[in-house]
């Protein structure tokens, strides 16, 4: 019995050690980005290409999800609000929920699913087919050319995509109100705008820059460290989605605590 305990403990220790090493490696990989992004050469052509690609990949899905998110949220909360005689607060409540929390997180998770895996697979297949080695012997730093450009593109585009989803969500809420109560668009949007403050919008959209960074870095890390041929490429893609999604949620939790601390609990 004690023997199996020892081997079990040894196995756990090995597991823990290898996870720690993994965390360390990803952290160093992530920090390397900041060393690169501050100094030329910049591959703007590549960044633009990735921006186009990211937008085209994500926008269809985000459009549907954004609209439906607002619609469902309005349909679900309206009866509860009515019960307290607070139905008139719906536009304000919806706008705050979406802009502060749901918009950024849902956008980030969807883009993570679409893009982190894509980056993992793209970079991973370049790794296993020696294209990354080929870049290096051609005098191109693969980290700068493949990783920095993708991370920059993700960080630039995520705030824009979030703003788009926020708008669609709020509009979806209006659609629900219009279907059920034939309410006026002007009134709805006036209330939305009145309820939103600078302090809601900036942290909400701002944190998506960090989410974009996570999506890019984790996808690229998995791709860069792909081994064992095509099978490894598939693994890189799935691991990237899981890790990116987890990290987004953790980071969001931390940011919420920080904003509450710094800006107060708001209205």
Partner 1 sequence: MNQPQDNVLIDVIDVWKSFDDLHVLTGVSMQVHKGSSDVILGRSGIGKSVLLKSIVGLLVPERGSIEVMGKQVMGMKPGELNDLRKHIGYVFQYAALYDSLSVRENLEFPLRKHTDADDEEIGERVMEQLRLVGLEEVVDRMPAQLSGGMKKRIGLARAIITRPDLVLYDEPTAGLDPITAREISELILNLEEQFGITSITVTHDLECARVIANRIYILETGAFQVQGTFEELKRASDPTTKAFFQVMA
Nearest CB to partner 1, comparing residues 38 and 262: 38
Answer whether 215's CB lies under 8 Å from 158's CB: yes
Positions in the binding site for partner 1 (CB under 8 A) = 125-126, 129-131, 133-141
In the complex, minimum distance from the CB of residue 122 to partner 1, in angstroms, rounded to a whole number: 8
Nearest CB to partner 1, comparing residues 61 and 134: 134
Of residues 163, 175, 158, the one with CA closest to residue 67: 175
Burial 160-177 (b: 16+ CB within 10 A, else e): bbbbbbbebbbbbbbbbb
Q: Which two tokens stand for residue 226?
A: 């792909």
Residue 146 C-alpha from the chain's centroid: 19
In the complex, minimum distance from the CB of residue 140 to partner 1, in angstroms, rounded to a whole number: 6
Write the CA distances from 74 to 110, 152, 163, 185, 222, integer angstroms.
21, 35, 19, 14, 39
In the complex, minimum distance from the CB of residue 218 to partner 1, in angstroms, rounded to a whole number: 21
In the complex, minimum distance from the CB of residue 14 to partner 1, in angstroms, rounded to a whole number: 14
Nearest CB to partner 1, comparing residues 102 and 123: 123
Nearest CB to partner 1, comparing residues 26 and 140: 140
């Amino acid at each position: 019995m004690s023997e199996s305990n020892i081997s079990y403990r040894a196995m756990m220790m090995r597991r823990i050690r290898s996870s720690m090493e993994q965390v360390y490696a990803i952290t160093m990989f992530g920090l390397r980005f900041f060393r690169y992004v501050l100094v030329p050469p910049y591959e703007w052509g590549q960044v633009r290409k990735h921006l186009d690609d990211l937008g085209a990949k994500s926008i269809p899905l985000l459009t549907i999800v954004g609209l439906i998110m607002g619609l469902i949220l309005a349909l679900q909360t309206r009866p509860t609000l009515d019960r307290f005689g607070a139905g008139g607060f719906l536009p304000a409540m919806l706008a705050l929920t979406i802009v502060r929390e749901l918009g950024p997180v849902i956008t980030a998770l969807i883009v993570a699913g679409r893009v982190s895996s894509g980056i993992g697979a793209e970079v991973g297949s370049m790794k296993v087919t020696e294209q990354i080695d080929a870049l290096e012997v051609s005098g191109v730093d693969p980290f700068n050319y493949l990783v920095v450009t993708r991370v920059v593109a993700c960080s630039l585009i995520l705030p824009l995509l979030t703003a788009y989803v926020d708008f669609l969500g709020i509009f979806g809420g209006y659609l629900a109100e219009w279907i059920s109560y034939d309410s006026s668009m002007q009134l709805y949007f006036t209330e939305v705008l009145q309820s939103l403050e600078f302090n809601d919008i900036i942290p909400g959209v701002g944190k998506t820059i960090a989410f974009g960074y996570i999506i890019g870095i984790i996808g690229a890390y998995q791709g860069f460290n792909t081994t064992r041929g095509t099978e490894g490429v598939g693994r890189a893609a799935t691991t990237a989605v899981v890790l990116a999604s987890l990290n987004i949620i953790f980071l969001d939790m931390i940011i919420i605590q920080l904003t509450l601390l710094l800006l107060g609990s708001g209205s």
